[in-house]
Structure 1
Amino acid sequence: MVKPLIEQGAQLDGFTIGERVHQGGMATLWTVTHPGISVPLLMKVPRVAEGEDPAAIVSFEMEQMIVPRLAGPHVPGCFGTGDFDRQPYVVMERIPGKTLYGRIDQLPIPYEEARAIGGKIATALADLHRQNVIHHDIKPSSIMFRPSGECVLIDFGLSHHNQLPDLLQEEFRLPYGTAPYMAPERLLGVRDDPRSDLFSLGVLLYFFTTGERPFGESETLRGMRRRLWRDPYPPRKLKPDYPPWLQEIVLRCLEIEPVWRHPTASQLAFELAHPEQVKLTARSERIKRDPLSTVWRRRFNRGLTLPRPKSDVAAQLASGPIVVVALDTEEGSGPLNECLRRTAAQLLATLPSARLACLNVLRLGRITIDRTLDEQGNNKHIDRLVALRHWAQPLELDESRLTVHVLEAVDPAAAILEFTRVNHVDHIVIGARQNSMLRALLGSVSAKVAAEAACTVTVVRPPPSASVPAQQGNQR
């Protein structure tokens, strides 16, 4: 008898097989070690015996193609694959701890904790989408957290890569996924819209904050099709103390049409990070589902139930970036701020789904005690928030696309860089003064931001005829 390749103690391509830690319906997980690799490892092996579901094999092929192409803290590192000619497997980093599924018995969890968890998942999804991958199986058992706090997404067997063949789409007519979390468009064969993952995250947030699934525990395919026209009960129907900002976010994620959800996972993460600035609409106050007249219109609207043309994931993400404009509100900044407004208007005109964050830094003294009121007795922080909104008014943006932020920091450049890093900003627009003695002595805020930012930066200068007097502002 031929010795099995996968058993405890066996050697395979330099990996030593350890104990079996999980046996699921589609694959088995083994601990493995390798003399040249110090991190803990798992080997995932598909179930390919007689009678096994062929979708398990195709799903594993997708995972073999996708996982080695992924990088970053939000996915497990990949250390090797084996083909089907001999022994299929994927060796990946073993993330310590348990999946989010371990919290099921503790539901519902506090709203603030759910906000923090949801924000981390949305950040991980944003990173995944930037790598041209849509997960398509976001649920508690596919989510883990590193000891450092970052969310890690696992199980990519149902994923779609925008630059690779979609074997599941090509070989099977039925949609594969976890029924309670599946987006409506998936039932129509649409697998290339990253907003499907936002729907799944909305289901998870609903479930974790109410203790109930928005579409029930289990459904037939016929029953699942109801979500093409039937919305769930609003969370406030189940929990009267449900925060309006959270219901606004959750119900937006659960919109039937993807176009009504957040444009990108980055924008969803931004809202979860800044709940006080979530633009509240009628969603936030609802306690009833849509009336039957609306449901019937959806059901018999052929435009809703016809398959959509293939989308361009990269183009869709690019149309909905987060743009920061860093502004100086000190006296004498008018000409420069006018140039910044014109630049922002030109940029936003080409990005109909972009979110604009207006940012100002209230500079603190290194050794002095800073007062919160100015000479006139007005609160400096509030005055600057008002000034930022006044600056943005001529842009005529919908309030859902605009937020304003005043940061307090000793180092303005460092504060701007930290804000853009934490909020995964895609583009910074910042002004640069033309002449300043302090700028010459201490260095330019705009130069430091342009040199160190992880995103693109546009540095704006006013024309010579509109020179700005040199003075100590928040940014130079």
Structure 2
Amino acid sequence: MVATRLEPGMVIDDFVLEEKLHKGGMAVLWRVRRKSDAPGAAPLLMKLPILGDNHDPAAIVGFEVEQMIMPKLSGIHVPRYVAAGDFTAQPYIVMELLAGKSLRARFDDAPLPVEDVAAIGIKVANALHDLHKQNVIHLDIKPSNIMFRESGEAILIDYGLARHDKLPDLLAEEFRLPMGTGPYISPEQVLNIRNDPRSDLFALGVLLYHLATGERPLGNPMSVRGLRRRLWRDPVPPRAINARIPAWLQEVILHCLEVNPARRYSTAAQVAFDLQNPDQVTLTARAEKRVRDGLFKVMRRWFRSVGMEAMPQQSASEQLSRAPIVVVAIDLTQGSEALAEALRVITRRILQTAPEARLACVTVQKTNRIGMDEVVDKKGRNIHVKHLVGLKHWARPLALDPEKITYHVLEAPDAAAAIIDYAKVNDVDHIVIGSRGSSVLRRYLGSVSSQVVAQADCTVTVVKSGGDSSSSADASAA
């Protein structure tokens, strides 16, 4: 095709060009409207590749990738796809026009307060988890590719470097150089490994580091040699730059920035979980670091980096299936010991099938809708602390790594609503809950477990116990 000069008022297929909004290195953005739209209809965005004799062929392939992937995406965290034009005439993509600025504007004010860093991280992590559930790895997460809806949700844009598990990876097939944006590209991307969703978590760690410290953890390398340094060189610990950063936030950031993806968080949902529950973050040696690793560790990484090129092939969906967030709702009242043991048995079986799972042990402390609640029991013990101790006692036989388990006492008048809300806010994949059996009164009023099955947005396993036996029933509450 021959490149044509675009002007306001021109018509491309069913769309009228109204105003040029931005011209980048690879594409130009126009505000457009449909010819058939009534006055006052919401404007749309048209993205057109910049074509020319000297243009980078990777940009053209990237535009083809975006044309393939965007129609497959849905939900609040991605731009709404409208239409696309073929390269035989005029290539373009039309999508919803997003209002507001990108996350890039916030970096001018870095370092930000801790609560702002966490809030932004939660939104971006939730968006990434939603994208990964749609079998897509973004591979170019950076501030300019993150926007926000008026309702607050993060939107991920620009899928020119992305990979879809179910579609051909044209970029990997045609090119061998690392692809991404210098400060945010993960170590495995430097080696042209494009099949691991944890690459996006590394980029999220870079974002969090920069927002918390005002500095980039690994600089802005412009060469492959400079990029390869991240295969063995760790960043300066965030707290050495900004002493106001709490230990738990450094733990989260450095967990995302591990060189080996197997040592990072398993999923974006697990990152969001820790950012939402800072008091539950297990502190390791990462949290206390004040200096970069010494020569011995760096040399060990340097030798190990040679083997990274032979990392096993996988997909976003495979990684997520190994690392669900599982909630077990536990009744700590007297007389529920048999049911508690049945819950342990089923929970252990579930965790054996998902080695990278995160377990959240939850109980509900009932509160009054009106009036004052008792803070201590008849023996003068704090009720909340008593429940917390009970959860840890229940979980002890599971012998889980402290990084893989958390404990939560939810205070609410409605136990079912509290569990459902907790699962929704924390992007839970699976709820395990006990049922004490049936009675006329329970059938009439509705049990907690039946309400959770009916209203939860994830898989629910209901565990029943009769004497020493237990049974489970799986229900996918969509």
Q: If the TM-score is normalised by the length of the shorter chain, which range does it land in? A: over 0.9
Q: Counterpart of 1:113?
A: 116
Quickly say closer, same or farther: Cα 1:341–1:18, change in 2 above 3 A.
Answer: same
What is the distance in 1 between the residues matched to 2:57 and 2:464?
61
What is the distance in 2 between the residues matched to 1:307 and 1:71?
33
Q: Counterpart of 1:473?
A: none
Letter in 1 for 2:145: S
Runs (4+) of structure 1 moved beyond 3 Å? 2-6, 35-40, 302-305, 435-438, 464-467
Q: Counterpart of 1:213?
A: 216
Q: Structure 1 residue 367: deviation in Å?
A: 3.1
Q: Counterpart of 2:197?
A: 194
Q: Is the 8 A contact 2:239 2:245 kept in 1?
A: yes
> Does 2:16 correspond to 1:7?
no
Q: Structure 1 residue 303: deviation in Å?
A: 5.2
Deviations 1:17-61 (A, max 9, x none): 110000000000000112359443100000112211111111100
What is the distance in 2 between the residues matched to 1:233 and 1:31?
43
Gaps of 5+ in 1: 468-476
Aligned pairs for 1:148-297 (under 5 A) are: 148-297=151-300
Letter in 2 for 1:30: W
What is the distance in 2 between the residues matched to 1:442 and 1:175?
60
What is the distance in 2 between the residues matched to 1:459 and 1:187?
45
Query: Which among 405, 409, 422 is matched to residue 406 of structure 1?
Result: 409
Q: Is the 8 A contact 1:5 1:12 kept in 2?
A: no
Q: Structure 1 residue 62: deviation in Å?
A: 0.5
Q: Is the 8 A contact 1:44 1:89 kept in 2?
A: yes
Q: Structure 1 residue 302: deviation in Å?
A: 5.7
Deviates more, 1:194-203 or 1:309-318: 309-318
TM-score (norm. length: structure 1): 0.95
Q: Secondary structure at the match of 1:331?
A: coil
What is the distance in 2 between the residues matched to 1:5 and 1:377?
80
Letter in 1 for 2:62: S
Aligned pairs for 1:36-75 (under 5 A) are: 36=37, 38-75=41-78
Query: Which among 84, 88, 92 is matched to residue 89 of structure 1?
Result: 92
Query: Which among 377, 386, 389 is matched to residue 386 of structure 1?
Result: 389
RMSD: 1.7
Gaps of 5+ in 2: 471-478
Query: Which among 458, 461, 467 is matched to residue 455 of structure 1?
Result: 458
Q: Structure 1 residue 433: deviation in Å?
A: 1.2
> Does 2:424 correspond to 1:421?
yes
Q: Structure 1 residue 400: deviation in Å?
A: 0.4
TM-score (norm. length: structure 2): 0.94
Deviations 1:128-182 (A, max 9, x none): 0000100111111001110101010011101111111111111111112100100
What is the distance in 2 between the residues matched to 1:277 and 1:360?
15
Query: Which among 298, 314, 319 is matched to residue 317 of structure 2?
Result: 314
What is the distance in 1 between the residues matched to 2:468 and 2:186?
55
Q: Counterpart of 1:474?
A: none
Q: Structure 1 residue 304: deviation in Å?
A: 3.5
Q: Is the 8 A contact 2:274 2:281 kept in 1?
A: yes
Q: Secondary structure at the match of 2:341?
A: helix
Aligned-residue identity in percent: 54
Q: Is the 8 A contact 1:5 1:87 kept in 2?
A: no
Deviations 1:243-291 (A, max 9, x none): 1001111111111000000011111111111011000000000011111
What is the distance in 2 between the residues matched to 1:320 and 1:377?
40
Q: Secondary structure at the match of 1:91?
A: strand
Q: Structure 1 residue 436: deviation in Å?
A: 4.6
Q: Structure 1 residue 4: deviation in Å?
A: 4.3
